[in-house]
Chains A and B, each alone.
Chain A
Amino acid sequence: MTNRKHLRDTPRKLTPQIVRPYGDTTGDGMIQVSFTLPLPHDKRAEGAALQLAKKMGMDPALVVHAKPIGPDFTFFVVYGSSNHLVDLGQVHVQEREFPLLSPKEVSLAIKRGLRRRLVVVGACIGTDAHTVGIDAILNIKGFAGEKGLEYYSEITVVNLGAQVLVPDLVAKARAAKADAVLVSQVVTQKDAHIHNVSQMTAAFREAYPAGKVPLLVAGGPRFEEGSADRLGVDRIFGRGTTPSEVASYLVHAVVPPATPSRKKAS
């Protein structure tokens, strides 16, 4: 509770450096969690739930709901104040490293910089059959009110669809002279998404001479931000990515600036 004073004293307009969860009062730290313990429902189980909550930094904690699930398990809902502080100075996120362009600007940049159409090959690889992600980015129908890459006059899209085998993807990418390869991975059980993408990048590096590998981009709701290097891809896109973000990134990464004079110092 000692932190409350500090927060109350912070001027409203400024974002404080230190924050706590907000229940109904600034600085109250209130959170709620639910979990199941492999214990029959009795007083001891509720005590066990409280002990867990305290170890998670909830103090005071209140078991507001406990319900047996069969003879051997109990489900709990616990409310309490978290005694952890969030230091915003220690929060690191990946900011977008490229400017967001409109479809017109994308087309113009490709025309001037590449002087031919930019070729994108997309697929759901491995056993993944969820084409929702790749279709949202590639299909003309698009996503979130934005048209997909097929709509862009200077981009040629080859959408291979679901469950494409990695060797087929490499072959199709070579045949189409792809500038960029987009793969979508939704299924994540047992880290299938990581396994599939690593397998894909290895195959591309094997099949292409060094420095000639097309831009490799992975997308899906469960990729960890900042894991691109580990997976061997050039960029990862997460949940909520729109087609124009992808198009803007492709221009940023693939298209050389039109004339040297326009090159920015940064």
Chain B
Amino acid sequence: MSTTPLIHLDAAQVRQARSLAKRAGAPVVKIAKNHTTVSVERATLRLAGLTGADHEGQPWVNHLVDAVRGQVGLEHGVTTPVYDALRRGVAPDLLTLAQQSASGSVSFRLPEGGRELATTQRTARAQVARGIRAIDAQRAARDRLIRRHGNPKQTPWIYLIVATGDIDEDIPQAQAAAREGADVIAVIRSTGQSLLDFVPEGATHEGFAGTYATQENFRLMRAALDETSREVGRYVRLTNYASGLCMPEIATLAGLERLDMMLNDSMYGILFRDINPIRTFVDQRFSRQIHARAGIIINTGEDNYLTTADAVDAAHTVTVSQLLNEYFAKEAGLADWQLGLGHAFEINPEVPESFRLELAHALLARTLFPDAPLKWMPPTKHMTGDVFRGYLLDGFFNLAGTMTGQGILLVGMMTEAVVTPFLSDRDLALQNVRYVLDAAGGLREDFHPPRDGFIQTRARHVLGEAVDLLDRITTDGLLNAIADGTFGLMKRPADHGKGLEGVVTKAPGYDNPAVTLLETGATR
């Protein structure tokens, strides 16, 4: 994606911004490494092959992790007591063990050490490694299908949302959207799934404003899009959401079922779902390690800041968040091509020169992250219900997207904030995108904003503000900055928020074979 940058940034200032982001993020990574969570442990059991739920829908991974936690704690990781119990012959397999533990008939213990411990941990690693190899196989399958069917012919890739609540309705809608030109299909999750501390099981048919993320729903939709990919002659990508209290498990299921992109922001859950900051950073690091391994492109959520704060005044908070997301992502092993850093077209259209300001902000992101497939989000805040004006605004959004070389374009709907999009809204929206890309797809070549002009000056100004803010964050500490309402004007102290009770400090003997395999790249 690298071409000659359209704007000039001071290389020393860019270096400074990155080193400040690293200084702000490093203490948080350290905290993440020192803790585990119930969801990280459950994800590990899922890799070892434990699936399914009891008749009330409570997953077996939850039962088993809760039972282990109740008896010996999670400080040493869940796999050691679990595989110790299996080694002792308490149950013939993982599923039976989970079922027995649910009825309280298993007593767990921590092996004393020495050979007993080493054997247990070796067995655990061998089992978890099978899940990791399944993820590796899905990545290879994706590469093969992309070679066979090809990537989209144009950039930006066209990203469309489907959200009916019923997977059986979602599938034909997603297939229709792909036939109409969508390159990426996102299945929005049911409102409120982020606050569930378990992953629902099976194919689901009711959700609010979206469809539950489940392993079976993932599998069904991926299979349907594989069929459509063959039909349309390009690999249609599938997106879901690795966020909320089950982020590590959903990332794992996405890897196992070959999803291609996942929404995965480092701070979104903290700010917008009031999830505990420590829980979020621990879960996020594990899920990003999975995404890195699975070849999944992450999409970050900076667009959300601009829906609560003013898009001009808060432009630099987007840049700061992008830099932090980049740091956390790379620390977790993601490559540049996997960073769909987010930003959005949310400046009030009443502001004079709003389009030039949008171009400046979009070019700043493009220039700062030349090799990342930036995720360009459409207007929502200033969609007033006047659908005609909204359609024009979306046209300008599309134009800014192509002029500034964005990688992934989420198609804006003129009925944003009015109704769930009609079939015709989606069709009109795609016509809008197609018109702009056909009419002005090559405009970037002729577009050279002058070095001391409005756009370049504004971009450098925002970068300067971002550096100042990063400087303050490194002085205060990132967790304090989050507590003080620096991002999206929301105040989230580190000792509050949902899911805090699921955070556990690791003991010196902590063992998690998934983390070991992810960090070393080993397959066995």
Stretch at the interface among B368-376, B415-423, B462-470: B415-423
Residues of B with C-beta under 8 A to A131 = 308, 490
B contact residues, range = 20 to 34
Contact A36 B209 (CB under 8 A): no
> Across the interface, do A127 and B195 meet the contact criterion of CB distance under 8 Å?
yes
Q: Name A247-264 residues within 8 Å CB distance of B.
A: none
For chain B residues 106-165, which have a beta carbon within 8 Å of chain A? 165
Number of interface residues of A (CB under 8 A): 28
Q: Within 8 Å CB of B489, what residues of A?
A: 135, 139, 141
Other-chain contact of A161, B208, B209, B274 (Cβ < 8 Å): B274
* B191 and A192 contacting across the interface, CB-CB below 8 Å: yes
Q: Is B330 an interface position by the 8 A CB rule? A: no
* Known A-B contacts A69-B427, A189-B191, A189-B420; A129 and B209 likewise in contact (beta carbons under 8 Å): no
B450 in contact (CB, < 8 A): no
Does B524 sit at the interface, judged by CB under 8 A?
Answer: no
Measured between beta carbons, the chain B residues less than 8 angstroms from A161 are 274, 490
Known: A36-B424, A132-B307. A187 touches B209 (CB 8 A): yes
Q: Are A189 and B209 in contact (CB under 8 A)?
A: yes
Q: Are B273 and A162 in contact (CB under 8 A)?
A: yes
B428 CB contacts on chain A under 8 angstroms: 75
Given the known inter-chain contacts A34-B424, A75-B424, A163-B273, please indicate yes or no for A70 contacting B176, CB distance below 8 A: yes
Contact, CB under 8 Å: A129 / B208: no
Is A234's beta carbon under 8 Å from chain B? no
* Total CB contacts across the A-B interface at under 8 A: 61
Residue of A nearest to B195 (CB): A163
Known A-B contacts A69-B423, A69-B424, A161-B274; the reply to A192 vs B308 at CB < 8 A is: no
Q: Please name the residue on chain A nearest to B426 by beta carbon.
A: A69
Q: Does B381 contact A (CB under 8 A)?
A: yes
Interface residues of A in 137-196 (CB under 8 A from B): 139, 141, 161-164, 187, 189-190, 192
Contacts of B385 in A (CB 8 A): 239
- Whether the Cβ atoms of A127 and B490 lie closer than 8 Å is no
Q: Are B381 and A132 in contact, with the CB atoms below 8 A? A: yes
CA–CA, A69 and B181, complex, Å: 12
Q: How far is the CA of A73 from the CA of B172 in the complex (A)?
A: 14
With A127-B208, A131-B308, A164-B274 given, can you name 10 additional A-B contacts, CB distance below 8 Å?
A126-B192, A127-B192, A129-B191, A129-B272, A132-B308, A132-B381, A135-B489, A162-B272, A162-B274, A190-B208
Interface pairs (13), CB distance under 8 Å: A36-B424, A73-B423, A127-B191, A127-B208, A129-B191, A129-B272, A129-B273, A131-B308, A162-B490, A164-B274, A187-B208, A189-B209, A192-B191
The 8 A-B residue pairs whose C-beta atoms are closest, nearest first, are A127-B192, A189-B209, A127-B191, A75-B424, A69-B427, A36-B424, A129-B272, A36-B423
